Structure 1
Amino acid sequence: MLNKLKISIRTKITLGYIVIILCLLASVIILNNQITSLQKERNYIIKNDSNIHALTNRIEKSILDMESNQRSFVVTGETSYLESYNESGEKWQYDFDELYQIVKNKLTKQKLNEIKATIEHWITTTGDPSIKLKKEKNNEALWELNKVDTGRKDMETVRDQFESLRSEVIVTMQAKVNELDKRNSIVTLTLFGILVFISVVAIIIASGISRSIVKTLTEVTRTIQEITASKSNQKGRIHVRTNDEINALAAATNELLDALERREWLQLNIAEIVTKYQGISAINKLAETFLSEIAKKTQSSLGAFYVRETTDNHIQFIKKAAFADTRDDVGIESFKLGQGLIGQCALEKKILIYNDIPEDFRLINTGLGKVSPKGIFIVPIIFENDVIAVVELATMTGFNKLQQQLVKQVIETFGLTINSILGRMEIVRLLNESRALTEELQAQSEELQAQSEELQLQTEELTMINEQLEERTKEAELKSRELEQAKKELEESAEQLLLNSNYKSEFLANMSHELRTPLNSILILSEMLAENSQNTLSEEEAEYAKVIHSSGGDLLALINDILDLSKVEAGKLDIYFGEMNMSEVPVQIEQTFAPVAMKKNLQFYISKDENVVDIFYTDEQRFQQILKNLLSNAFKFTKQGSVRLDIKQLREEQLTNNMKDVSADWLEIIVSDTGIGIPRDKHQLIFESFQQADGATIRKYGGTGLGLSICKELARLLGGWISLQSNEGQGSTFTLTIPSLPNGIEEQECLELAIHEVGATNELEELMEEQLLETQDFSQQEVEVFQGKNILIVDDDYRNIYALKNALEKRGMNILVAKDGIECLDIMQANDEIDLILMDIMMPNLDGYETMSIIRKQMEMTDLPIIALTAKAMKNDRDKTLEAGASDYISKPLNLDQLVSVLRVWLVSKGS
């Protein structure tokens, strides 16, 4: 019965307080009565004492006034003194009567009577007789009276009597005060006793209530500690018998434990699934792995995985994998958007769950028979708002909410994985096609050479036996015609190969544009967010923005690596040889990699031999690129120990005959580490594209596998080579050997060199850095340069427009926007106050080249600064834009600081 009655902790505590308050109230009433009584008596004593002192003082003053007025009248005879004398006589009698009423002590009253007798004696023997004699002008009698001077003795007696009276009053009052102090001590002891009693009662009540509360809290705490000690393996819950807030706490704790178990289950299974498909590079393998894992986690009995494919602008989804597919008939082979439930799911981009399964649906085969499914789960996998894959699952038990949540969270990022693998497969396919065409052309060339040698031999034989072998001469002519035909076919194949190479170059340019265009807005906006200039973001959100910006930079580096490798393979990489100060190399490398070494707790050594020349002739940018790639790999694959960089100049006796023929200084740059090492059978493999020594399905160290391939090709273009010495588990040593070439590499010394544009932005970046250094102390001047300037942005990508508009408006510029060249010309016709144009190149309707040409030639605006912006990074882009009328050129993705520097330069030059 008591357990069913809910008595809350608040009620228990309140009842205890009520008992204590009642006890306190009773004690307060008792003590208040005692204190009130004491206070009244003390007030009476104080008041009575004050009145007695006041009245005695007034009586004494009145007597003294009478004496003074009596003497003054006797001396002067002025009647005004008589009036004062009489008034003082009335006052002392009135005050004396009042004092006599106040005094209760008999001894004190007796003293008062003596004082009164003394005063009356003075009046009758001195005061009144002297006044009477003065009125009668009896000076002789008055002289005799003053001579005797009995009044002085009476006055002295009055003063002594008053002092004695006051002392008596003080003694009486002190006795009463002492009595009150005794009573006050008794009250204090009584109060202390009551407080002790109330404290004991309060402790007893608090102890009872606390035992009631602490007992249940202890049980809850013990249960939580047992669950914590079991590391979530214990599934127990808290049980409380009391019907109060502790019971509610236990229920809430149990709900929390249930939620934590569900969350832990979700995180654990998501991590297991993601780990399984990491590192997979084939879509079929990815589909099989994902479907197998997701089916296990959701207890699915059937499953199918479909991937989107586009052929001649027709979209369909093709089955790539199936689960529990014993006869290869789980799910249809393909479907289109809107076709059936699964097609409707792909069309609407929504998850579909069905629990009412039709009777004719496919049965699930088990070892004992066939069972109808209880639930169907169709999930679209979305990437950039497009469905790129669909997964369909069926189960015999139905999908609970936890399983549904698991699937939804897994597919949130799975679309990115699928798209990445499809993109990588497409790149590999294109590379393989290019290599196949190259090999085919080489085979045809060899065949043609063999046929040419054979023809030459036959011609010589025909010359020798021309007369005897006329028929064989005709045969040779026939073969000659066949050879001519083969030559034509070979030329056609070469033209086709050249066309394919152009297609590949155009594809790389377009791919660069498509990837750099969204990267442009990502890098600009993420950089603005990371700066957090208005402190609108939390530290965590600002850190997210920094991670996004860093990831965008990594992606840009990957794009540049792929483009560099493709250009090297196509023979379109220009190498610019110039002076390089070797004394600055150790300092630059130290500044770049010392923080990396410190972060990974590695030793980093740099040494340069004294005989190394100060001025070395090579392409400094490509030299630095090789060196940084090798050092990055060394730090990447070294967990403990050290990384070392040694710069040496080869002595004459170390040079081979071929090296001596070059007539140049040779450097040997050695990068060694104590890392994981490379097996001997993979020394050549790691220099191939997209290859690493860690070539397992799930690669531990990540990376694209392009770095060493690019280093090898760049070293070759610099006239040198890279060698490797390494054993697995014993570290690696990469050696770069290159010559100093003041005049570059002569054509006859090279097997294959062609034109390449190093990068349209390299010179511009250097110029921007110089200008940035020169203007960093003039922030106020920058504000004046940008303030109120009208900038026209011409771009068909709303993301770039949004990023640039926000960045430039913050610096006080007025921004106008045009979506293509036609709209740009219309705005310029209507507005003649535009200070500068940011012109995108690849746009619909009217591209950037044509628009700039019209502005310069037809509209004759030759002084208006036009900055060309393009995401293409291929040959001659800078020259083409400048020929079309651009004032300057920047490649995407834009570096915000560089853009601001360029704007400052052109706006200042325009203003001057």
Structure 2
Amino acid sequence: MSLTPRSLLKNFREINADFAKLRLTFIALGIVILANATWLVKSFQEVKEGQRWVDHTYEVIAQIEKVVTAVVDQETGFRGFFLSRGDTRFLAPYQQAKASLDRDVTRLEYLIQDNAFQVTNLNILKETMNDKHIILEGGLQRLLDTKDYSKYDPFVLNEGRVAMDKLRSIADSMKNEEKRLLELRLQDDAVSTRFVDRSLYASLVMNLILALVAYLILKRNAKTRNEETWIQERLSMLALALSGDLDLEELGKKTLQHFGTELNVPVSSIYHIEGSSMKRIASFGFDEALLYSSRERELDNTLMGEVAQTRIPQWLDNLPKNYLRISSDLGSIPPKSVAIYPLIVENQTIAVMEIGLLMGREPLLERLMERSSEIIARNLSAAENRSRLQNLLEETQAQAEELQTQQEELRVTNEELTEQASALNLSQDKLIQQQEELRQTNDQLEDQARILRDQQDALEVKASELEDAKSTLEDRAKALEQASHYKSEFLANMSHELRTPLNSMLILSTLLRENSDGNLSEEQVSFASTIHTAGNDLLSLINDILDLSKVEAGKLDIYIEPISLKSMVQSLKKNFQPLAMSKQLEFEITLNEGLPHEIECDQKRLEQILRNFLSNAFKFTERGSIKVDVSRPAPSLNLVRNQDKRQSLIAFRVTDTGIGIPAEKQKLIFEAFSQADSSTSRKYGGTGLGLTICRELAALLGGEMILQSEFGRGSVFTLVIPEICVAVEMKDSQPQEFRQREVAPISIMSDIKAHEESAVETKRMSDDRDDIKSDDKVVLIVEDDPVFMGILSSTARRMGFKVLSALDGEQALSDLKHYQPSGVLLDMKLPGVSGLGLIETIKSSSETRHIPVHVISGVDVSQNALRMGALGYLMKPVSSDQLRGAFQKIEDMISRRVRRVLIVEDDEKQRHAISRLIQGSDVETDAVGLASQAQDLIRKNLYDCMILDLRLPDKSGLELLDAIAQDKTTIRPPVIVYTGKELSRDEIMQLRRYSDSIIIKGVKSPERLVDEVSLFLHRVEAHLPETQQQAILESRKANKPFNGQKVLLVDDDLRNTFALMSALEPKGLKIQVARNGFEALAKLNEGDGVDLVLMDIMMPEMDGYTAMKEIRKDPKKQSLPIIALTAKAMRGDQERCLEAGANDYLPKPIDLERLLSVLKAWLPQSGEF
């Protein structure tokens, strides 16, 4: 058999590759020679440059001498003038030296400008020269004024001698430095000279080496060609030996005989693969009786099986002596190496060949074996095909013989049938008689068939009815599914409405339980405690149901942020350790090595899952231990997701020794409202929602939950998530803070809501506005829920406050103007002016910006509120202790006359400057230069504000903020970052986690710093020093409210667009205009970086409602702020706008101040990042 076309093509490619390598080698040699020449030229240039620096050093030393000589000439002229008793001719050297000193010093500055050490010395020298000059000038002036030459001025004598000694010392130091540099440069020059000499010799040697390398390359190529010729000869001999119609065993035998005689292979064998096993078809060089393995063996768990599956040859070297013996009559010897090669045809291994060699592994033999295996494999495949054809032929012949036998049997059968026909004739008469009987029977059968047809028609009617019933059931199933979806959406949208009355019930029951007036009996207090406990249980159940419904409705938001693993497990340990001690359980948390310091995930949801695991573990464990292990997922853990990313996964494993879960119940417990024990006599309570929510949360985080449990032995719950979680996109997710949810319109509920709103509008909450004195502490409470307003008012009065109540933002603005309250307690979700707009209005007015504002709300916009100057932020529902804490914060702020500020700045001059800038009778400052000092002070003291530079000697400002955040014993004050460092976007995002303001040092930055500090300290602007009031005024004049943010104005009325552009562009905004919804969508799709949309409602072609809905369909524009503008002042317009996708709402005619407040709330302020 000749060589295959594939082998010939491979040889041709290898020859071309050798020629290509040869060409590349000679090109490389040329490049090396060129680089060598370039290096020599560069070395000569370095020698020349070194000589220039030596000359430069000599010039510097000479220039230093000139400067010193000029100073000495000055002193000599002064002494001559003194000794000559006023002879002005002796002042000529003095004046000449004075005139030349400036030129000499300027020349010296130029010569040493590249040496920081010498520049420092020269600055000291100039100061000393200046001191010397002042001494001499003073002494000279006194001589000219007094004409007293009787004695030498002692000041000139003493101070002049000290200055001259210092000048000579500095000059000597500078000369010594230049001499040191001269010595180094001379050494470098000598080294360079020697290097050039050596480079010349090295170049000669290199060229000789290159010539030798070229010779060796040519020699190697000749050797390669000889080896290729040898391989081709052996392959031709092998192909010739395997020619002919040979079966598998003959082919294997001839192959091994060829290797034994031509290649001196003393021992070898070939195994043919048959299904999941291998069969040896040939062997050479050893006794069959002494073979280590049997004739047949399994494919798995063997080295040859591995080679067959991976199709990669294996070589075994350094074999043990008892591995195999190659024997002859004269003796035996072990092989040095064994090679196993797969025989592959069309990417399928059909056989495996194993050879033993008396020599080690050789590349030439490997190449020959690799190319020989293809020839052997194709011959084996051809032999298989011939064997298969032979078997088919034999099978066909056997079938032909069987057919002939069957034909003989049919002939005999025909003769028997003829005999039977005669017998049939005899029985024909009997059959005629029976025919009449059959006719009668047939009539009966026809009657029965008619009955059956009637029954079949009835069945078809029933089948049709069943089909209709099936269709009806499917419609009902769809309706049920839709109803379930509406249920989930309804529950997800009822969060605020459910929590508000429950919040009131909890707070009121707490007040009753405390019985502060002492007018309740013990039984009544017990009833109140029971109500409070039941309310908490109901709140927990509502939270679970709302979480589940939000997941089902696709409205649960995931917020990814950096999480410290160490801090999180410490928090879990701290929270559950008391429970473990009370139940006398061993509780242990292990954080394994090799994990990152931080992961990126939703901390709230991750802790929710882990707390559920631990709560269940403690609930169902009476004795033993509960262990938490944080590590990489074990290889044996069967993952559904992220199988190929195990090294980037984190596994949280919670193991308990509790009651365990039966196998048949393990899937059931993840279903909503299901538990392992759901009987009426069960021991453990609960709704069965926890694990269902955890499973859905894990999926939203891109992870999964695995349960391993044995009944009576305990359970292991494992949560596996990525190091960097990516929130799984949820259908219909809408993350805007004030976004109203779409619900099916219900006319009755709408009427009720309209009636309630009307009642609220006509009713003013009772407060203390008619009984306020000048020295009263007054708090303004802005809350649209009358019940909760009553609770807040009662708590405020018990804390010693007089109360002003406002049900909306407009009333709150009016009360602020007329009453100037001591503090404000504020909800975010208000009719009319939003909470953020109200904060912006308060903090932008010099008359009200000092008033502390505390927020209690059901929506989380804490970052915006705190950045705008809010004192604190609480999420509903709140406890009575939290309410008292909020009022206590306001009390502390208004009663404390002196505010404390911590300044962290490494530059001492900057520290003093900042302290002087913000100082006042009501401000105390502590200034430090190290992060460690700042951390110690924060542990010991309570500060109202911290001004922080980012570049500190011992650690960066960001590291200091991280350390403060992780220290649970300290309270972090509001932070103003005041730095000259240019910040990247990542650094800004990291700082935003801790900092309330970022100021880059510049021309107007001190004024802005005063403005920000006064905002966070809640200082009354009118009481500030006049310089600080002027600085705040200058800061506001220098900074526009906005800084180039882009606003898309969508309105078809040219008068409106002109008026708004005229009003907003001078404020620093860039306005783009669209005349209808279609144009607005087109401009947004252009990707021009629009920051906010002002959307009119009544427009041609596409109105504002439709446009906002279309905008919200784009996931990239879910967070784009949209402010709705409408001229229709009808009830329900605001709700309809918010439902369509708006974030806020303004009715026409537009109040410009109110518009600017809303824009400031939804856009970053000027100077912010």
Shorter-chain TM range is 0.3 to 0.5
In terms of fraction of residues, the more helix-rich structure is 1
Instruction: Give the TM-score normalised by the residue count of structure 1.
Output: 0.36
Instruction: Give the TM-score normalised by the residue count of structure 2.
Output: 0.29
